[in-house]
Amino acid sequence: MSNKRVSYFYNPDVGNFHYGTGHPMKPHRLSVIHSLVLNYGLNNKMQIYRPYKASAHDMCRFHSDEYIDFLQRVTPQNIQAFTKHLSHYNVGDDCPVFYGLFDFCSMYTGASLEGAMKLNNNDCDIAINWSGGLHHAKKFEASGFCYVNDIVIGILELLKYHARVLYIDIDVHHGDGVQEAFYLTDRVMTVSFHKYGNYFFPGTGDMYEIGAESGRYYSVNVPLKEGIDDASYWQVFKPVILNVMDFFQPTAIVLQCGADSLANDRLGCFSLSTKGHGECVKFVRNLNVPTLVVGGGGYTLRNVARCWTYETSLLVDETISNELPYTEYLEFFAPDFTLHPDVVIRRENANSRQYLEAITKYVYDNLKMIQHSPSVQMQDIPGDAFIDDNKTKEEDPDVRISQELEDKTVEAKNEFYDGDKDHDREEMET
């Protein structure tokens, strides 16, 4: 389905943060992805925004005031003063304190929040925030490299306008933070496809976790075994999502595209190719429901960059070459320099057809238990998270362009050099 209006959110500073030497989470991957997106010319097919930065108030729509206050105040320099708080907020090894921690959270959370707002206001059909998708963060603590749960905050914004929101998670790890946040409600259905068993992090996501109280049957878990390949994944993904769409009938979707489910990920154990992973994204896109697309896990940098660049092309419905364009990061992709390298399968697929069919049947039987397309009594719609209007505030006449105004600016079509079609070159030649 073509002609979708796509908004893409990217802060050029978000790739400059560093979790610390040896830590598997590399925000630098976001700079590499953006460079590929530009050099493939995909920026010409969507609106690129420098996103809003989320405030502490925005984050406290889900997280506790005390936890967000801690994230604002703790730094590597004053960490000694917060020693007793570190274990309380689960900050330490997996979730280290690094320079600019709160700024980093503000950037990726603000982008998901603004994406949700643009969908609510019908400014786009698809909103992309590859810096988001940090699905493990809990109300009172950090978890699994995640500090602020931008997904939950984005969904809360969507719920202002949408009676039913569907959350789909294809990260190799269970989307526990999002499931926990909406475990008791029938307005959000969470569907997670993930590795389960053998003490694999986070240890949740059994298929018998189905929700409770009003949310009973609104949590859907598809626990998978190691080594699952494209064909097996598709065998379970397609029928589960079709059944969910049929019974739940969401009016908005949030899709978490964790790339640690790709083959040979540093922390993952699945065997998906970029094309197989992308097939899920394409399938959700073709459901024709307003969709917020976010990143997530992914710890082999070159593979994450390939995957999310390819999925950006699918979301804007543009075919791109298997040969990677020249960028300043090209050496990362040696020796093949291709978008879709051959997948080297190092793990046997432990998921039998019978096992996958049994899970699919169990999910279907549970979905039959929910009230078909549940009606939600909508009250007055609360205001937007922030006012997206340049005229609301008097600008300082002594400042040429304020940072706030610059952050709201959509990147112009001629912002990025585009070879022979470059707009600036045309102006110079006339």
- Supply the residues annotated as catalytic: 136
**Residue 94 counted as an annotated binding residue:** yes
Rounding to the nearest 10 degrees, give the CA dihedral for residues 30, 32, 34, 39: -170
CB-based contacts of 55: which residues, under 8 Å, 6+ apart?
106
Q: What distance in Å separates the CA atoms of residue 384 and residue 393, rounded to the nearest whole number? A: 17
**Residue 125 counted as an annotated binding residue:** no
Q: Which DSSP helix (H) or strand (E) runs through 291? A: strand 291-294
**Residue 340 counted as an annotated binding residue:** no
Q: What distance in Å separates the CA atoms of residue 416 and residue 422, rounded to the nearest whole number? A: 8
Residue among 364, 367, 385 nearest 189 (CA)? 367
CB 402 within 8 A of CB 392: no
Q: What distance in Å separates the CA atoms of residue 207 and residue 223, rounded to the nearest whole number? A: 6
Report the b/e string of 358-397 with b at 16+ CB within 10 A.
ebbebbbebbeebeeebeeeeeeeeebbbeeeeeeeeeee
**Residue 364 counted as an annotated binding residue:** no
CB 88 within 8 A of CB 82: no
Query: CA 311: distance to chain centroid?
Result: 12
Residues making up the annotated binding site are 94, 144, 171, 173, 260, 299
Binding residues for a divalent metal cation: 171, 173, 260
